[in-house]
Amino acid sequence: MIEFSDLASRELYRDLAEAGSLKAALEMASQERGIDLGEVTAPEGDAGLVVAWFTSSRGGIGISLAAEERLFLIKIEGKGHGWATGGTPVLLDAARTVEAWRRGASLQALKSAFPFMGYTRLAQAFEEGNPTAVRWQELIGDGDLDDLRPLLVTAHRHLTLGKLFPSVTHLTLLRLAIDPSDRSAGEAWIALEAGSSYSIGASWAPESRRASSVDDAIAEAAEILTQRQD
Protein backbone atom coordinates (compact mmCIF):
# COMPACT_ATOMS: atom_id res chain seq x y z
CA MET A 1 0.00 0.00 0.00
CA ILE A 2 1.27 3.46 -0.92
CA GLU A 3 1.88 5.76 2.02
CA PHE A 4 0.20 9.07 1.37
CA SER A 5 2.92 10.97 3.24
CA ASP A 6 5.47 9.48 0.86
CA LEU A 7 3.43 10.62 -2.12
CA ALA A 8 3.31 14.15 -0.78
CA SER A 9 7.06 14.21 -0.12
CA ARG A 10 7.78 13.12 -3.68
CA GLU A 11 5.28 15.65 -4.98
CA LEU A 12 3.81 13.15 -7.38
CA TYR A 13 0.35 13.92 -6.09
CA ARG A 14 0.62 17.36 -4.52
CA ASP A 15 -3.00 18.17 -5.43
CA LEU A 16 -4.19 15.09 -3.59
CA ALA A 17 -2.07 15.91 -0.57
CA GLU A 18 -3.64 19.36 -0.44
CA ALA A 19 -7.15 17.93 -0.80
CA GLY A 20 -6.51 15.29 1.85
CA SER A 21 -7.36 12.17 -0.16
CA LEU A 22 -8.02 10.88 -3.66
CA LYS A 23 -11.75 10.89 -2.94
CA ALA A 24 -11.69 14.53 -1.86
CA ALA A 25 -9.61 15.58 -4.85
CA LEU A 26 -11.97 13.86 -7.27
CA GLU A 27 -15.01 15.43 -5.66
CA MET A 28 -13.47 18.89 -5.78
CA ALA A 29 -12.40 18.53 -9.42
CA SER A 30 -15.78 17.17 -10.50
CA GLN A 31 -17.69 19.95 -8.76
CA GLU A 32 -15.53 22.64 -10.34
CA ARG A 33 -15.95 21.18 -13.86
CA GLY A 34 -19.53 19.92 -13.59
CA ILE A 35 -18.53 16.26 -13.89
CA ASP A 36 -21.08 13.74 -12.62
CA LEU A 37 -19.36 11.02 -10.61
CA GLY A 38 -22.34 9.97 -8.55
CA GLU A 39 -21.49 8.96 -5.00
CA VAL A 40 -17.76 8.62 -4.35
CA THR A 41 -16.74 6.22 -1.59
CA ALA A 42 -13.43 5.04 -0.15
CA PRO A 43 -12.31 2.10 2.00
CA GLU A 44 -11.62 2.45 5.69
CA GLY A 45 -8.17 3.26 7.00
CA ASP A 46 -5.10 4.43 5.09
CA ALA A 47 -6.34 2.85 1.86
CA GLY A 48 -9.09 5.44 1.84
CA LEU A 49 -6.53 8.12 1.11
CA VAL A 50 -5.38 6.60 -2.17
CA VAL A 51 -8.40 4.62 -3.44
CA ALA A 52 -11.85 5.79 -4.60
CA TRP A 53 -14.86 3.75 -5.67
CA PHE A 54 -17.86 4.53 -7.86
CA THR A 55 -20.99 2.66 -8.89
CA SER A 56 -22.72 2.27 -12.24
CA SER A 57 -25.56 0.21 -13.68
CA ARG A 58 -22.93 -2.13 -15.15
CA GLY A 59 -20.81 -2.67 -12.06
CA GLY A 60 -18.19 -0.89 -10.02
CA ILE A 61 -15.32 1.44 -10.88
CA GLY A 62 -12.16 1.87 -8.87
CA ILE A 63 -9.38 4.44 -9.08
CA SER A 64 -6.08 3.97 -7.26
CA LEU A 65 -2.61 5.49 -7.46
CA ALA A 66 0.61 4.18 -8.99
CA ALA A 67 3.66 4.40 -6.75
CA GLU A 68 6.55 5.02 -9.12
CA GLU A 69 4.96 7.65 -11.33
CA ARG A 70 1.96 9.94 -11.31
CA LEU A 71 -0.75 7.71 -12.68
CA PHE A 72 -4.39 7.25 -11.80
CA LEU A 73 -5.15 3.58 -12.34
CA ILE A 74 -8.72 2.90 -13.44
CA LYS A 75 -10.43 -0.49 -13.22
CA ILE A 76 -14.02 -1.06 -14.34
CA GLU A 77 -15.57 -4.32 -13.13
CA GLY A 78 -18.75 -6.05 -14.20
CA LYS A 79 -20.68 -8.82 -12.47
CA GLY A 80 -18.19 -11.65 -12.50
CA HIS A 81 -15.89 -10.19 -15.16
CA GLY A 82 -13.78 -7.17 -15.99
CA TRP A 83 -14.83 -4.44 -18.40
CA ALA A 84 -11.82 -2.16 -18.93
CA THR A 85 -8.59 -0.94 -17.34
CA GLY A 86 -6.21 1.93 -17.92
CA GLY A 87 -4.30 4.79 -16.40
CA THR A 88 -3.77 8.50 -16.86
CA PRO A 89 -1.62 11.12 -15.10
CA VAL A 90 -4.47 13.65 -15.38
CA LEU A 91 -6.99 13.65 -12.54
CA LEU A 92 -9.73 15.24 -14.64
CA ASP A 93 -9.33 12.62 -17.35
CA ALA A 94 -9.82 9.91 -14.74
CA ALA A 95 -12.96 11.66 -13.51
CA ARG A 96 -14.30 12.07 -17.04
CA THR A 97 -13.72 8.38 -17.71
CA VAL A 98 -15.86 7.50 -14.73
CA GLU A 99 -18.57 9.90 -15.86
CA ALA A 100 -18.61 8.50 -19.41
CA TRP A 101 -18.96 4.92 -18.19
CA ARG A 102 -21.70 5.82 -15.74
CA ARG A 103 -23.59 7.52 -18.57
CA GLY A 104 -23.54 4.33 -20.62
CA ALA A 105 -20.58 4.69 -22.98
CA SER A 106 -19.77 1.51 -24.89
CA LEU A 107 -16.32 -0.01 -24.66
CA GLN A 108 -15.46 1.24 -28.13
CA ALA A 109 -16.71 4.75 -27.33
CA LEU A 110 -14.78 4.74 -24.06
CA LYS A 111 -11.57 3.73 -25.83
CA SER A 112 -12.13 6.35 -28.53
CA ALA A 113 -12.64 9.15 -26.01
CA PHE A 114 -9.94 7.96 -23.60
CA PRO A 115 -7.17 6.13 -25.51
CA PHE A 116 -5.43 5.19 -22.27
CA MET A 117 -8.27 2.75 -21.53
CA GLY A 118 -8.18 -0.79 -22.88
CA TYR A 119 -10.43 -3.83 -22.89
CA THR A 120 -10.26 -7.47 -23.92
CA ARG A 121 -12.03 -9.43 -26.60
CA LEU A 122 -13.94 -11.21 -23.85
CA ALA A 123 -15.14 -7.92 -22.37
CA GLN A 124 -16.40 -6.96 -25.83
CA ALA A 125 -18.18 -10.29 -25.99
CA PHE A 126 -19.94 -9.63 -22.70
CA GLU A 127 -21.10 -6.30 -24.09
CA GLU A 128 -22.34 -7.96 -27.28
CA GLY A 129 -24.03 -10.77 -25.37
CA ASN A 130 -21.96 -13.75 -26.57
CA PRO A 131 -19.25 -14.27 -23.91
CA THR A 132 -19.61 -18.05 -23.75
CA ALA A 133 -18.89 -18.60 -27.45
CA VAL A 134 -15.89 -16.27 -27.38
CA ARG A 135 -14.46 -17.83 -24.23
CA TRP A 136 -14.60 -21.31 -25.75
CA GLN A 137 -12.76 -20.01 -28.82
CA GLU A 138 -10.08 -18.40 -26.66
CA LEU A 139 -9.46 -21.51 -24.59
CA ILE A 140 -9.41 -23.94 -27.50
CA GLY A 141 -6.90 -21.72 -29.31
CA ASP A 142 -4.67 -21.18 -26.27
CA GLY A 143 -1.21 -22.62 -26.94
CA ASP A 144 -0.62 -23.22 -23.23
CA LEU A 145 -3.53 -25.66 -23.06
CA ASP A 146 -2.33 -28.33 -25.47
CA ASP A 147 -2.76 -31.12 -22.90
CA LEU A 148 -6.31 -30.02 -22.15
CA ARG A 149 -7.36 -29.34 -25.74
CA PRO A 150 -8.98 -32.75 -26.46
CA LEU A 151 -11.19 -32.23 -23.42
CA LEU A 152 -11.96 -28.63 -24.39
CA VAL A 153 -12.92 -29.52 -27.95
CA THR A 154 -15.13 -32.42 -26.87
CA ALA A 155 -16.84 -30.42 -24.12
CA HIS A 156 -17.47 -27.52 -26.49
CA ARG A 157 -19.15 -29.84 -29.00
CA HIS A 158 -21.40 -31.35 -26.33
CA LEU A 159 -24.99 -30.13 -26.62
CA THR A 160 -25.27 -29.27 -22.92
CA LEU A 161 -21.73 -28.62 -21.68
CA GLY A 162 -20.93 -26.40 -24.64
CA LYS A 163 -23.57 -23.91 -23.46
CA LEU A 164 -21.83 -23.38 -20.11
CA PHE A 165 -19.25 -20.65 -19.57
CA PRO A 166 -15.76 -22.22 -19.45
CA SER A 167 -12.63 -21.21 -17.60
CA VAL A 168 -9.36 -23.01 -16.91
CA THR A 169 -7.17 -22.89 -13.81
CA HIS A 170 -3.76 -24.45 -13.24
CA LEU A 171 -3.73 -25.48 -16.96
CA THR A 172 -5.52 -28.72 -16.01
CA LEU A 173 -8.88 -27.80 -14.46
CA LEU A 174 -11.85 -26.99 -16.70
CA ARG A 175 -14.62 -25.13 -14.88
CA LEU A 176 -18.07 -24.84 -16.43
CA ALA A 177 -20.19 -22.08 -14.89
CA ILE A 178 -23.97 -22.07 -15.14
CA ASP A 179 -24.03 -18.26 -15.17
CA PRO A 180 -20.78 -16.27 -15.67
CA SER A 181 -22.35 -13.24 -14.02
CA ASP A 182 -23.48 -15.17 -10.94
CA ARG A 183 -21.04 -17.80 -9.75
CA SER A 184 -23.41 -18.70 -6.90
CA ALA A 185 -25.52 -20.43 -9.58
CA GLY A 186 -22.94 -23.22 -9.44
CA GLU A 187 -20.38 -24.85 -11.69
CA ALA A 188 -19.26 -28.27 -12.83
CA TRP A 189 -15.61 -29.14 -13.28
CA ILE A 190 -13.37 -31.67 -14.98
CA ALA A 191 -9.74 -32.01 -13.90
CA LEU A 192 -7.01 -33.71 -15.93
CA GLU A 193 -4.89 -35.80 -13.61
CA ALA A 194 -1.72 -37.88 -13.94
CA GLY A 195 -1.98 -40.79 -16.32
CA SER A 196 -4.59 -39.07 -18.48
CA SER A 197 -7.38 -39.83 -16.03
CA TYR A 198 -10.05 -37.33 -15.05
CA SER A 199 -11.78 -36.22 -11.90
CA ILE A 200 -15.29 -34.81 -12.33
CA GLY A 201 -17.46 -32.92 -9.88
CA ALA A 202 -19.75 -29.98 -9.29
CA SER A 203 -20.50 -27.43 -6.62
CA TRP A 204 -23.84 -29.14 -5.93
CA ALA A 205 -22.50 -32.73 -5.98
CA PRO A 206 -21.40 -34.27 -2.66
CA GLU A 207 -18.73 -36.49 -4.21
CA SER A 208 -16.46 -36.37 -7.24
CA ARG A 209 -16.31 -39.03 -9.94
CA ARG A 210 -13.48 -40.49 -11.98
CA ALA A 211 -13.07 -41.36 -15.65
CA SER A 212 -10.27 -42.82 -17.74
CA SER A 213 -11.10 -41.13 -21.06
CA VAL A 214 -12.28 -37.81 -22.41
CA ASP A 215 -15.59 -39.25 -23.59
CA ASP A 216 -16.30 -40.84 -20.22
CA ALA A 217 -15.40 -37.62 -18.42
CA ILE A 218 -17.82 -35.66 -20.60
CA ALA A 219 -20.56 -38.22 -19.99
CA GLU A 220 -20.05 -38.03 -16.22
CA ALA A 221 -20.13 -34.23 -16.26
CA ALA A 222 -23.32 -34.22 -18.32
CA GLU A 223 -24.96 -36.65 -15.90
CA ILE A 224 -23.98 -34.48 -12.92
CA LEU A 225 -25.51 -31.48 -14.67
CA THR A 226 -28.73 -33.44 -15.23
CA GLN A 227 -28.89 -34.21 -11.51
CA ARG A 228 -28.77 -30.48 -10.76
CA GLN A 229 -31.63 -29.80 -13.14
CA ASP A 230 -33.67 -32.55 -11.49
Query: Rounded to whole angstroms, how far apart are CA atoms 105 and 36?
Result: 14
According to the model, what pLDDT value does residue 147 have? 94
Q: Domain residues for 175?
A: 130-229
Please indicate, yes or no, whether residues 102 and 188 belong to a single structural domain of this protein. Answer: no
Strand order in the sheet with 173-177: 165-169, 173-177, 187-192, 198-202, 209-211
Query: Rounded to whole angstroms, how far apart are CA atoms 149 and 160?
Result: 18
The number of CA neighbours under 13 Å toward the Cβ of 57 is 6
Please indicate, yes or no, whether residues 224 and 184 belong to a single structural domain of this protein. Answer: yes
Of 211 and 194, more confident? 211
Last residue of a domain, one of 109, 127, 145: 127
Q: What is the pTM of this model?
A: 0.87
Please indicate, yes or no, whether residues 67 and 167 belong to a single structural domain of this protein. Answer: no
Sign of torsion, CA 78 84 86 90? negative
Q: What is the pLDDT of residues 76-106, one digit of tens each?
A: 999 889 999 999 999 999 999 999 999 999 9
Number of domains in the chain: 2
The number of CA neighbours under 13 Å toward the Cβ of 8 is 12
Please indicate, yes or no, whether residues 196 and 138 belong to a single structural domain of this protein. Answer: yes
CB 117 within 8 A of CB 110: yes
> Which of 8-12, 92-96, 137-141, 221-225 bottoms out in mean pLDDT, i.e. has the lowest?
8-12
Please indicate, yes or no, whether residues 105 and 134 belong to a single structural domain of this protein. Answer: no
Please indicate, yes or no, whether residues 111 and 46 belong to a single structural domain of this protein. Answer: yes
